[in-house]
């Protein structure tokens, strides 16, 4: 076991969790056993990752900005990062629209299937619609207002306000750059030390990752209901998966052509973060792992990683944007609601803004999907039905699109790192040494 790489241990935990879930789901009382005695270990893993997310952003982002030592470097880094993220999101939306119109999954949904889906998912659908009601009346640039906190301690108390935390930390870091070096040095040293301690906490949490992933997968299998309904939505799921795979291929091509790294080196380097993203469905929860892999295994220097990855976990949702494009067209097709060229442009614009405002937590994409549907004037009387239909297969697709979200973050980090000369030979840590030291 000592010589097995971490990503294989995580994958092994995922496979064993899948097998255990199938076995327990066939045993009387097995599902209850998994929920009561196995799932809590997965919840602990997610809580540990969430626990470290805000401290990691604060320590690493302030350190990264302070290391730039020049406000002009920060300006160019921020502008380039955000521009690339917006560009990749637009590509993801375009890919989603092309794939969904090539497959036309909505044509295969029958009235009987719709009725069954609604009966099973009505409560979830209504709760998501209620969550979206408070959003639809807001300004299209409300996310700019929402990103400025009125109380940093309140913002830092929940991972859902991560964009507010990033705003404060960037503001703080810029101010630290502008004060005289002698006065700012004690703070810089403090955050350097804090960053090292936080990274050590990430190392220790990752030793627990295989167990946490095992528990999450076992719980997912026993909690999955109505498997027959998944068949009715197979074409929709296939459209999303094909689109996500195309985005993955695009990332690999960019890494190979622009960065000059082999696809296997890239995929092997980011694999543990992808597996954690798959099991948690949360870019925010996966952020500590993403940052560690991008720096230690893909060779992007810390000052770039500490800025690009936290910002990406908040505003770069390539997988979620692609899903929203596919889901919108799919629902409209299922209810024979025709979309004009103007409506397609509305989808692109609204989904782009929604991806910036979407919280990096499981299921948030569905709330933003409602806003996209309302932007194209989808009939309100069918809204609950359409969302219920999507929710039937949303969990596994949410897991997959989170993988694409964090892979996009890693790719952009490498692009930005190379453009600023901040890409170097990786220096991966030995996880067995970490365990032995512990």
Looking at the chain, the whole-number percentage of residues with pLDDT higher than 70 is 72
Buried (b) or exposed (e) across 260-280, using 16+ Cβ within 10 A?
ebeeebbbbbbbbbbbbbbbb
* Residue 244 confidence (pLDDT) above 90: yes
> Do residues 298 and 68 touch, judged by C-beta distance below 8 A?
no
Buried (b) or exposed (e) across 93-111, using 16+ Cβ within 10 A?
bbbbbebbeebebbeebee
Torsional class of 14: left (φ above 0), alpha (ψ -120 to 50), beta (otherwise)? alpha
Centre a 10 Å sphere on the Cβ of residue 228 and count the other Cβ atoms it contains: 8
CA–centroid distance for 203 within its chain: 20
pLDDT in tens, 263-273: 898 999 999 89
- Give the Cα separation of 59 and 69 in Å (integer): 16
pLDDT at 416: 92
Lowest mean pLDDT among 47-51, 235-239, 259-263, 431-435: 431-435
pLDDT in tens, 19-58: 888 888 888 888 889 888 988 888 887 788 777 767 877 7
pLDDT at 233: 66
> Do residues 381 and 300 touch, judged by C-beta distance below 8 A?
no
Q: Among 224, 320, 284, which residue's Cα sits nearest to residue 17?
A: 224
Token pair 């309904």 is found at 229
- Give the Cα separation of 419 and 421 in Å (integer): 6
Helix (H, G, I), strand (E, B) or coil at 86: helix
DSSP letter string over 137-156?
TS-TTHHHHHTS-S-HHHHT
Mean pLDDT of 185-198: 84
Mean pLDDT of 72-79: 75
pLDDT at 129: 54
Higher pLDDT, 368 or 308: 308
> Do residues 231 and 393 touch, judged by C-beta distance below 8 A?
no
Q: Given pLDDT bands bounded at 50, 70 and 90, which one contains residue 110? A: low
Question: What's the DSSP call for residue 35?
Answer: I
Q: Given pLDDT bands bounded at 50, 70 and 90, which one contains residue 227? A: very low
Q: What does the block give as tokens for 223?
A: 């909690």
Q: Among 386, 404, 395, which residue's Cα sits nearest to residue 322?
A: 404
Provide the total of helices (H) and of strands (E) in the chain, helices listed first.
21, 0
- Give the Cα separation of 252 and 319 in Å (integer): 15
Domains of the chain: 6-69+81-437 (1.10.3860.10)
Q: What does the block give as tokens for 184?
A: 């700012």
């Amino acid at each position: 076991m000592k010589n097995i790489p971490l990503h294989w241990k995580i994958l092994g935990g995922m496979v064993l969790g899948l097998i255990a879930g199938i076995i327990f789901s066939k045993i009387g009382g097995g599902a209850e056993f998994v929920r009561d005695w196995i799932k809590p270990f997965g919840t602990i893993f997610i809580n540990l990752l969430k626990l470290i997310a805000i401290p990691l952003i604060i320590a690493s982002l302030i350190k990264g900005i302070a290391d730039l030592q020049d406000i002009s470097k920060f300006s160019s880094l921020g502008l380039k990062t955000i521009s690339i993220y917006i560009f990749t999101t637009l590509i993801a939306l375009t890919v989603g629209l092309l794939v969904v119109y090539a497959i036309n999954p909505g044509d295969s949904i029958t009235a009987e299937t719709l009725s069954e889906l609604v009966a099973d998912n009505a409560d979830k659908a209504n709760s998501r619609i209620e969550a979206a009601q408070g959003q639809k009346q807001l300004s299209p640039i409300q996310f700019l207002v929402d990103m400025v906190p009125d109380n940093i301690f309140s913002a830092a108390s929940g991972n859902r306000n991560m964009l507010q935390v990033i705003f404060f930390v960037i503001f703080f870091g810029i101010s630290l750059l502008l004060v005289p070096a002698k006065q700012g040095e004690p703070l810089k040293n403090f955050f350097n030390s804090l960053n090292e301690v936080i990274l050590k906490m990430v190392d220790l949490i990752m030793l627990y990752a295989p167990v946490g992933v095992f528990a999450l997968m076992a719980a997912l299998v026993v909690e999955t209901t109505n498997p027959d309904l998944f068949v009715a939505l197979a074409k929709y799921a296939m459209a999303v998966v094909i689109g996500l795979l195309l985005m993955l291929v695009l990332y690999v091509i960019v890494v190979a052509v622009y960065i000059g790294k082999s696809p296997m080196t890239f995929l092997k380097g980011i694999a543990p973060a992808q597996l954690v993203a798959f099991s948690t469905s949360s870019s925010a929860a996966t952020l500590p792992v993403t940052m560690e892999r991008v720096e230690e295994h893909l060779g992007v220097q810390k000052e770039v990683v500490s800025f690009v990855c936290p910002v990406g976990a908040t505003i770069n949702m390539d997988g979620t944007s692609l899903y929203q494009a596919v889901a919108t067209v799919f629902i409209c097709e299922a209810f024979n609601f025709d979309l004009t060229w103007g409506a397609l442009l509305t989808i692109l614009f609204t989904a782009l803004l929604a991806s910036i405002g979407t919280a990096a937590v499981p299921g948030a994409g569905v709330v933003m999907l409602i806003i996209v549907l309302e932007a194209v004037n989808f009939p309100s009387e069918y809204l609950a039905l359409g969302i219920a239909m999507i929710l039937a297969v949303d969990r596994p697709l949410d897991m997959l699109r989170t993988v694409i979200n964090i892979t996009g973050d890693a790719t952009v980090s490498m692009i930005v790192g190379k453009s600023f000369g901040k890409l170097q030979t990786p220096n991966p840590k030995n996880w067995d040494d970490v365990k032995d030291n512990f």
